[in-house]
Amino acid sequence: MFGLNPKDTRFLLIVIALTLLTPILLNPFPTESGLAQFNAGYPALMQRFAIYGLMAIGFNILFGLTGYLSFGHAAFLGVGSYAAVWMFKLLSMNVIPAIIASTLVAGVFALAIGYVSLRRSGIYFSILTLAFAEMCYRMAYSVLTPITNGETGLQLTLNDPRILDGGEAITSLPVPGLFGLQMTSYSTLNIAGWSFTFSVGYYFCAVVAILGFYLSLRIFRSPFGMTLRAIKSNQQRLNYTGMNSRPYTLAAFVISGMYAGLAGGLLAAMDPLAGAERMQWTASGEVVLMTIVGGVGTLMGPVLGAGFIKYCENIFSKINEGVLHGWFGFLPDGLEDLVVWIFARFVGEGWHLTLGVMFMLIVTFLPGGLVEGGRRIAARYRNRGKSDAAKQPAE
């Protein structure tokens, strides 16, 4: 089915099911329970999972398959957001033309940046992409203010032309939508103590992310994907075998840039504003971390990595000193202050410290990322089950 073999089809169907059930799966704790703060099933967070997951999927096509490590993909994310907001301002609040424009504009940028950067490989390539992204960031911040609105960021205004659906005077800012269905609308389902929110915004992102995942699956299984892996393995050999590695890497670069642009468009579709900080190098670094934490070169890894990091960000940055005092209140006063002081460095604004520690632990003990962790657990589980019976063959 879907042009895939049965194993991949099953894999894809599982991913689709999990994605569609996310609002339920990520809300395991009843609303009133103390653990409810660890729930992740609310639209704003789930949207980020899907959007950054999509970006990481695309990044993995470049980094995972060819081994070329770009440190500039946030530039495409930012460009995508600007393109989308401009579409909202000029054309229509419909998200479809907006995300198409994001993808295409990011593709053009990726073509130009990739064409130059791919003349080098290894660390020089990474530095070039970093430099280009930093340039884009600086320009968005200052020189290109007429297009990007500089420091303030690009926003909707009451008198945007919107040639397709503007016209009548409005008193409040319009909301992006899909043929009349507003991205911010949602319905809530209350069952016993649980409360699940199904929002249009999340499901729109989820569908786009699933399509992106499906495309990446096809690319991984295609001759093109195999050639990209050959580039990572031995680029010299590939050239002496009659293939020109340059257009292959450029194609991978442009495709992954377009994924990032699409992700940027979705960010704007969820919240129609675009700022230069989205292009900062820390944002480029984040997608690298997501891919490595999840598992470089694996299909699911980048998505898991993106979800993991965004979830941790959400949890850790919510915790403040007040919360910590609540947790450690049982300790004697002096000790309590000390412990709270130490933990406070790792939460809230300081959550990046926690991210750094987690990253080091994962790279050291699980070089294959979360996917490898999953595999190890599965292997242990299988070994235990082996004594029962060799009923089903291992997958």
Partner 1 sequence: MGILEVKGVNKRFGGLQALGNVNLSVQENTVHAIIGPNGAGKSTLLNCLVGKLIPDSGSVMFDGKSVLGRKPYEINQMGISRVFQTPEIFADLSVIENVMIPCFARRDGSFRLHAIETVEREKDIIEQAERMLADVKMLDKRHAHAGSLSRGDKRRLEMAMCLVQEPKLLLLDEPTAGMARADTNNTIDLLKEIKAKRDITMAIIEHDMHVVFSLAERITVLAQGTPLIEDTPDNIKGHPKVREAYLGEAQV
Report the interface residues with partner 1, using CB under 8 A: 3-5, 218-219, 221-227, 229-230, 232-234, 236-245, 247-248, 251, 255
| Owner of token pair 């969820």 | 270
Nearer residue to partner 1 within complex by CB, 76 or 248: 248
Instruction: Decide: 254 and 274 in contact? Cβ < 8 Å.
Output: no
Q: How far is the CB of 291 from partner 1 (least distance, A)?
A: 17
Q: Which is nearer to partner 1, 193 or 247 (CB)?
A: 247
Residue whose CB is less far from partner 1, 120 or 221: 221
CB of residue 246 to partner 1, shortest distance in Å: 8
- Closer by beta carbon to partner 1, 250 or else 323: 250
Minimum distance, C-beta of residue 238 to partner 1, in the bound complex (Å): 7
Minimum distance from residue 378 beta carbon to partner 1 (Å): 20
| Nearer to partner 1 among residue 172 and residue 236 (C-beta) | 236
CA 167 – CA 158 distance, rounded (Å): 11
Compare residues 131 and 215 and give the one whose CB is closer to partner 1: 215
Q: How far is the CB of 108 from partner 1 (least distance, A)?
A: 18
Q: Beta strand 181-182 with 273-274: parallel, antiparallel or unpaired?
A: unpaired
- The answer to whether the CB of 287 falls within 8 A of the CB of 6 is no
Helices 95-117, 245-270: crossing angle, 10 deg rounding: 150
- Least distance CB 254 / partner 1 (angstroms): 11
| Structure tokens given for 249 | 């890497």
Report in angstroms how near the CB of residue 317 gets to partner 1 at its nearest.
38
Report the DSSP pairing between strands 154-155 and 177-178.
unpaired
Beta bridge partners of 195: 190
Q: 391 to each of 194, 385, 386, how far by Cα in Å?
A: 38, 10, 9
User: How far apart, in whole angstroms, are the C-alpha atoms of residue 395 and residue 386?
Assistant: 13
Maximum Cα interatomic distance, the chain, rounded to a whole number of Å: 73
Name the residue among 283, 367, 366, 297 with its Cα closest to residue 64: 297
Beta bridge partners of 189: 196
> Please, which residue, 202 or 248, has the CB nearer to partner 1?
248
